[in-house]
Structure 1
């Protein structure tokens, strides 16, 4: 978010927290892109704030609530509601201190993701398919107005890669289930109670390999029953998708343009292999 948007979003989160009897005198920004993540103090609550027009907070809360009730390794909600204030939606979560700055070992990462997947198989909510997310990327690539800095040859390359790998993953014949959607290391917290996943706004249905494509390579080696050929395709597909997001004129990911250039090169290398 731009500075003025972040200020309004922060005020909205603090106002909602105060209305619930939580003491929120100031807020520390933990992450700022298209959505703002705040640590409210001294109540020590984590607030996630997004523009009301571009969010799926209710689905995220519903999924997280069901997973938490089922004992899945997920961060707990502070309040199982979606709050709206001044054109922003706010969700409130438990804040967890990080136990160690070191990376979670691949075996622990894989076991935690396997437990999450087991819990997700018990969730019964209508959710998007992974191909819906690919379609969003394809639409973005095709829209010159939304991706004005994407060169013609790069646009053709991205469009072809997305289409080819979407078909390859869809036609794999692998079982599909509810997935986290983006279980990368930034969405897995090391807490005193063990690793916990956060951020369920990208949940979708698909093969487990689509989720594993977001995790470090060593995690896929530890996860049981993986189709490694499909995992390789999923990794390339995910790289094509996140590369596409970086070329969106409205993307606010930190240093996004540089990453878009860098990831395009990585994607060409991956498809060449």
Structure 2
């Protein structure tokens, strides 16, 4: 978020917690993009704050978290001291979560895989209406193909992303017999190393698809600990995921930090992943 809406969003998060009886003397911005994550001190809350236009996404994330907590999934939990819902304040949607102190050590591939397997076992236990991953790809493809929404995307790169998104989505999504609920983006940035063990966060990306779509977000070593995974499919999903990442970065209104570097990185990763699949 830009400085002015960021200040309003920070205050919306702080004021929401305070009105619910949670002491928030200090606020630390942990993440700032199209929505923000705030650590509220000393109440031990992580507030996720998004413009109210993202209300449906915020409510979906809260519902996913609530259902997964009921089946013991390794996910970050909503703050138990307040009602498990999204609060509206000053044009922002605010949800309140437990804050977990990070543990410094890196998560080993075997531990990552163990959390991944338990998370997907829990996802299979809940019944939830969620989009198919191909729906997310279709949205990204519209952004790429609309020059008004991605005006700075060079023509050659636009063709690359359009071809990759459309072709791989159709190929991977053609057989849905093994699809299940997925996290959607279980990359290392969405797996916290805590005293309770690894916990997944950012649950608004939950969708349906093959488990390899999720494995393609994890470090490559993780897939080697997941019996039965189709490694050729993982490679194709990895190319698709990098194309999705790139599509979001080239949006006119994307607010991720260091966007120019991430744009270049994303396109390079798409090409490298396609080469590895023999599709370059």
The bucket for the TM-score relative to the shorter chain is over 0.9
* Deviation (angstroms), 1:207: 0.5
Matching of residues 88-237 of structure 1 within 5 Å: 88-100=92-104, 102-172=105-175, 175-237=178-240
Question: When the two structures are aligned, how many residues end up with a matched partner?
Answer: 272
Matched, 1:258 2:271: no
Contact persistence 1:51–1:89 (CA under 8 A) = yes
C-alpha deviations, 1:67-95, integer Å up to 9, x for none? 11111111110141110001100000000
Matching of residues 10-159 of structure 1 within 5 Å: 10-55=10-55, 56-78=57-79, 79=82, 80-100=84-104, 102-159=105-162
Q: Secondary structure at the match of 1:253?
A: coil
CA separation in 1, counterparts of 2:120 and 2:54? Answer: 27
Matched, 1:248 2:265: no
Contact persistence 1:247–1:257 (CA under 8 A) = no
* Deviation (angstroms), 1:272: 2.9
Contact persistence 1:168–1:233 (CA under 8 A) = no
In structure 2, stretches of 5+ residues that fail to align are none
* Deviation (angstroms), 1:265: 2.3
Contact persistence 2:87–2:95 (CA under 8 A) = yes
* Deviation (angstroms), 1:172: 4.4
In structure 1, stretches of 5+ residues that fail to align are none
* Deviation (angstroms), 1:262: 2.5
From the superposition, tell whether residues 146 and 173 of structure 1 become closer, same or farther in structure 2 (CA, over 3 Å).
closer
Give the 4+ runs in structure 1 shifted more than 4 A: none
Contact persistence 2:235–2:273 (CA under 8 A) = no
CA separation in 2, counterparts of 1:81 and 1:271? Answer: 41
Aligned Cα RMSD in Å? 1.1
C-alpha deviations, 1:181-213, integer Å up to 9, x for none? 000111111111111111101000000000111
Query: After the TM superposition, which of the residue ranges 52-61 and 233-242 deviates more from structure 2?
Result: 52-61
Normalising by structure 2, we get a TM-score of: 0.94
